[in-house]
A and B are shown apart, each in its own frame.
Chain A
Amino acid sequence: MTTLTSPYAPPIQPSRWKLIRGYLRRNKSLLVGLLILLFLILFTLTGLYIVDPKHAFPLSVRSKQPPGILDFGMENWPGKLPLGSDFFGRDMYAAMVRGLWQTALIGVLAGAAGTLIGVILGFTSAYFGGLFDTIVKGICQILTPIPVFMIQIIIASSLDKRDVTIYTMAGIVVMLAWMGPTLVIRSQVLSMKERQFVSVAKLSGVGNAGIIFGEIMPNLLPFIAAAFVSQVFNGVFSSFYLAIVGLGPLREPLLGNLIWGAQSQGAFFNGWWWWPIWPALAMVLILSSLALINMGMDELANPRIRKTE
């Protein structure tokens, strides 16, 4: 008796890593965004290892020194003041490292909290409906025409400036940032709970918890991830704007604070161009990397615009 062998070889499943690499090659914006983010993370991590953290604060180094990157063989090189120092005597390299680290912290904290509130509110209001849904929707509608930044100014300026830390900054941002994710999650849940797989689950006797966590939540994950990235963007952006008008934690070298200081000391008038330029450059890199990642995540979450090989 002969054993039957299939004329077809079993399909070779490419390894996970290979699949991810292949996908990233197609999704260029996700790739570029992640690469910029990686660069920023590496800059910050190596910086945290190299620099003296005390130099990020005023009166720690000689003030108003131009950057030493191009200054080979001069007294500034190597490693003395590669990015220069500002009017207050902060080493710009140390300040940038600390500022980037704190900007990232605000972004991630505000992003996580905002997304969490949004998911809980959007979910409960869409899934259970009724009066609660009407109230949540009404508040979101009334708050939408109000420029969020203006209300953030009110909150931040009624705090004592000495009390403002990066955690209060994250808190201020979150207070007015949950509406976006709430509305997104709400509309997704509204459409999802009418789909057939939910009805089937309901008819098979699955309870509310089972439907929420077993049926709807897995399908929501891409939207939650996209909402998280745009919330991080929001957090970074709003805290940057608050800091640039002088409402940031004054002692910290947050990127917005550095630009605010440079502007109020007339950095360009005095020729200290490096003072505002480094934080502005870093901010552009952060924001564009987050925007690119967000665009890439959109493609991941929305199969209609997903590219295939």
Chain B
Amino acid sequence: MRIRLILRRLSFLIMVIWAASTITFFIPRMSDRNPIRERFAELARTGGFSAGDLEKVVASYNKKFGLDKPLLEQYTDYIGSVATLDLGVSLNRFPKTVMEIITDSLPWTIALLFVSSILSFILGNLLGAVAAWPKSPSWLRSIATPFVLFMGIPPVLLAIFLLFLLAFKLKLFPLGQAYSTGIAPDWSFSFFLDVCWHQILPAVSLILGSVGGWVLSMRGMGVTIQGEDYVNFAEHKGLQGGTIFRDYYLRNALLPQVTGFALALGSIITSGAVVEGLYALPGLGSKLSQAIQSNDFLVIYGIVLFITMSVATLMVLVEFLYPLLDPRIKQD
């Protein structure tokens, strides 16, 4: 039954989200740090108000956020609000909710990560398939090797070297930021070009850091497929090389590669967040590191939970794609 499988995956998804939100609820409460007290103590130090009122203010805010209730009640409230995607408010930019901060920065992150990870997936799989294919010209095969060398290096380190070489030394690219200072964001084409110009280095560092992995796994897969009888048979039937390459190599290696993509989602988002921080792009990653630096706890927990939920959801969604990619899987 197809429905039963969907229900099983969905209940697994709910389990994962529940586990993640339980972790984000209990871990901060195990430490003796109180975000609200710390925030107001900081304000008191900088002369916001007299320190004598501190406890009173903290108590009233604890009441407002429901932090004076018993732990179990807080927990059920929290799970309820997570279920409705209510992630609380920012302590630093008070009336702004965490969800608003996320929706402001999400388009930047999606644009960068979507483009770079799809490009890297396509490029890596093509290069890997070409490298494994005995009939491809040798210069084409050797292209893949340098990418494999970058494999173990996290994109953020590549980003530092790219910044140094291309932006700092050669001055070909900007040194970070999402668009040139002095330009007001609008929907014009020139602004779009400016943004693209600033996204090239972050995208290239993310792509360089991940292409090698796809090349290696695709090459391995290609070598295995080569020995298969159906490939020999297709060759003896006299099929065109291109047809064999497309319909026998790529098609059969696609499913495991897509599974690999789903498994890599977590590290794609993680390295994307760190690279965004390095280039000071206005995406989720920068918001996260800003929140960490300014002790804006609800924003930290909110963004972490949001990223975790999206990764888990995307993983399950990719699994639903399988029957489309491989008709042999009918999901029963």
Contacts and interface: CB of A to CB of B under 8 A. Distances in A.
B180 interface: no
B157 A280 contact: yes
Interface stretch (B79-87, B230-238, B304-312): B304-312
B277 A259 contact: no
A184 B153 CA distance: 24
A288 B307 contact: no
Interface in B28-66: 28, 30-31, 33
Interface string A131-156: 00000000000110111111101110
B154 A259 contact: no
Nearest to A262: B160
Given A147-B266, A154-B23, A268 B304 contact: no
B169 to A, nearest CB: 8
Nearest to A269: B175
Interface in B289-332: 289, 292-293, 297, 300-301, 304, 307-308, 311-312, 315
Given A153-B300, A154-B23, A277-B164, A146 B266 contact: yes
Contacts of B311: 145-147
A303 to B, nearest CB: 18
A288 B175 CA distance: 26
A159 B308 CA distance: 21
Contact of A149 (B19, B33, B270): B270
Contacts of A291: 151-152
A43 B33 CA distance: 40
B175 A268 contact: yes
A247 B292 contact: yes
Given A142-B16, A145-B311, A263-B278, A153 B160 contact: no
A237 B161 CA distance: 18
A241 interface: yes
B199 to A, nearest CB: 17
B277 A263 contact: yes
Given A145-B266, A246-B293, A291-B152, A241 B167 contact: no
B244 interface: no
B267 interface: yes
Given A143-B19, A268-B175, A280 B307 contact: no
**Majority SS at the chain A contact face:** helix
B112 interface: no
A287 B152 contact: yes
Contact of B168 (A142, A273, A283): A273
Contact of A150 (B168, B278, B304): B304
Contact of B270 (A143, A241, A263, A269): A241
B30 A158 contact: yes
A241 B28 CA distance: 20
A142 B308 contact: no
Given A160-B31, A241-B274, A268-B167, A146 B300 contact: no
Interface extent on A, as a size class?
35 or more
Contacts of A142: 15-16, 19
Contact of B297 (A157, A263, A277): A157
Interface in B122-165: 151-154, 156-157, 160-161, 163-164
A69 interface: no
A211 to B, nearest CB: 34
B20 A146 contact: yes
A19 interface: no
Nearest to A264: B293
A160 B156 contact: no
A244 interface: yes
A154 B27 contact: yes
B288 interface: yes
B160 A276 contact: yes
A178 to B, nearest CB: 15
B288 A245 contact: yes
A287 to B, nearest CB: 5
Given A150-B304, A158-B31, A284 B270 contact: no
Contacts of B252: none
B24 interface: yes
Contacts of A292: 152
B302 to A, nearest CB: 11
Contact of B307 (A150, A159, A264, A269): A150
Interface in A252-307: 259, 263-264, 268-269, 271, 273, 276-277, 280, 283-284, 287-288, 290-292
Given A153-B304, A245-B288, 6 more contacts: A154-B23, A157-B28, A158-B27, A158-B30, A160-B31, A287-B152
17 contacts: A146-B23, A147-B269, A150-B307, A151-B24, A153-B288, A153-B304, A157-B292, A158-B27, A241-B274, A247-B292, A263-B277, A263-B278, A268-B167, A268-B175, A268-B176, A269-B176, A276-B160
